[in-house]
Structure 1
Amino acid sequence: MPPIQIALVGVGKIVRDQHLPAIAKNGDYRLIAAASRHGTVDGVDNFKSIEAMLEAVPAIDAVSLCMPPQYRYEAARTALEAGKHVFLEKPPGATLSEVADLESLAASKGLSLFASWHSRYAPAVEAAKSFLAATTIRDVKIVWKEDVRQWHPNQEWIWAAGGLGIFDPGINALSIVTHILPRPLFITAAALEFPENRDAPIAATIAFTDADKLAVSAEFDWRQTGKQSWDIVAQTDAGEMVLSEGGAKLSIDGKIAHEEPEQEYPMLYKRFAEIIRAKTSDVDLAPLRHVADAFMLGRRKFVEAFHD
């Protein structure tokens, strides 16, 4: 089959670090254009807006939207109305309602919409899911702590309302947990810490359970220095399971059970090509729903101001 003619919208750090290399190595795609207010991509036509790009390059089959979530809905709707398949960086949108509207529009036009949860494609995630499916889980603890100055330097949008704050990385943990646990979770309590000069939280603690009263807790914090922590620990009848390094490594009772090189974004683009060829969509809103519930139920505490 001919390659999918794809375009990128929102050329920032994540595009340069992940999207461009993944597309370049995948023969299912040919990158033909990019649109961004500030960035450009070498070797393709560049535009300042998605509207200008779609008008000038009608051969585009699909667009990958990588701008902040607060601005993604209008761009996604523009692309779908123009007959293009749409890849949504995580989180897929600023609200649940707007993503549901995009899913309905894509279905009405026979187009593919992909809510891309990259951490679900970490190397050891499927192995962890298989391990948990074969045993009884006693409790689960999520510890997702990193240094915001290292991973999001000078990114003001992430602190604005709708930017999610600590839930920008925390939603990665939620995307894994909602995939590997056998039953749906719901939040019973949450506490969110907001810097006094910001509109998004810098830390959060959350308690979850499921229909069988499983205890699941999460600690998210953006103030971690030194070694970063991206771990999911489950106590089970088959031993202690530790899914570490953001899903890259699985250990059972301290022994490595699964470890491979990270290939998250190449796997995302493989999946996007699959759903385009199959004429379907892949839009799971469970991780974003948990974030919305945390904001709905969470107690709010103001902490000292944060400055980059």
Structure 2
Amino acid sequence: MGVDALFGTDEPEVAKQTISVSAIHLPAHQPRRYFDPQRMERLVDSVKEYGILENLLVRPLSSGQYELVAGERRYRAAKEAGLDEVPVTIRELTDDQALEIALIENLQREDLNPVEETEGVLQLLANRLGGTTNEAIAILNRKAYLDRTEGELDEVTENVFRNQWEVVEGVFAAVGKFTPESFRVSRLPLLKLPSDVLETLRQGQLEYTKARAIAGVKDDEQRQEILEEAIAQELSLSQIKERIKSLKPLPEESLKSRFDSTYKQVKKSGLWDDPRRRKQLEKLLAQMESLLAE
């Protein structure tokens, strides 16, 4: 997948040169959120010895400075290695073009994990559709619903949706890893994982299948315990499932004990002295008496 696949053009580069690291600024919206510390350390060592071997892609700003478009790992490594200057390719780009190139570069990474890939594809869709990621998800779900029910839209809505769907198909053709439906079914559920599991998956500490199994543990403490064990002991999926099966069910307060506790609190409270709240209490008591009479 390349930039031209999405832009449909081969825009010429403005220039290739060396500029000061201090003249480069990170964009407000960065697709990549996590950098593996060990990989970064190895890259920094390489940069110290050999320098930056592949140009960073930047675009000029009105201030005379530059905004980084692609090559954030190399940029961070150059700063940490203490380089004063780095080789860059300067290219005139709109905000949308710069964002899409950054997203594409992120999606081409070898160490890309399922969470980053899912978020990256959704951001690409949102950018091309001119909306939000939630709106992109809604379009995927709508198409699935229409296909499943053989539903029909009115003429105006159908024309709008047809244009949107052409954009969606174009993005997935460029990404080349999913169909819209396989992405919807296999990847969108990722976004509903508990935050602790999602972050572990984003950092590449756990495989997707293991993360989904652990996500089924509803209690936060139990889930965190299994999560830590799975990472520290490199548990297999079958071992994780055995750990989950062995969990003792959490004690649930019975209805009777809740009633006893509430009864004691009501007797000790000042509900009796408040006319308005006393009326509410009388209504509840009448409902209980009615239940007993049935």
Same-fold call, TM cutoff 0.5: no
Q: Which has the higher contact order (CA 8 A, sep 6+)?
A: 1
Q: Which has the larger radius of gyration?
A: 2
TM-score (norm 1): 0.26
Please identify which structure carries the higher strand content: 1
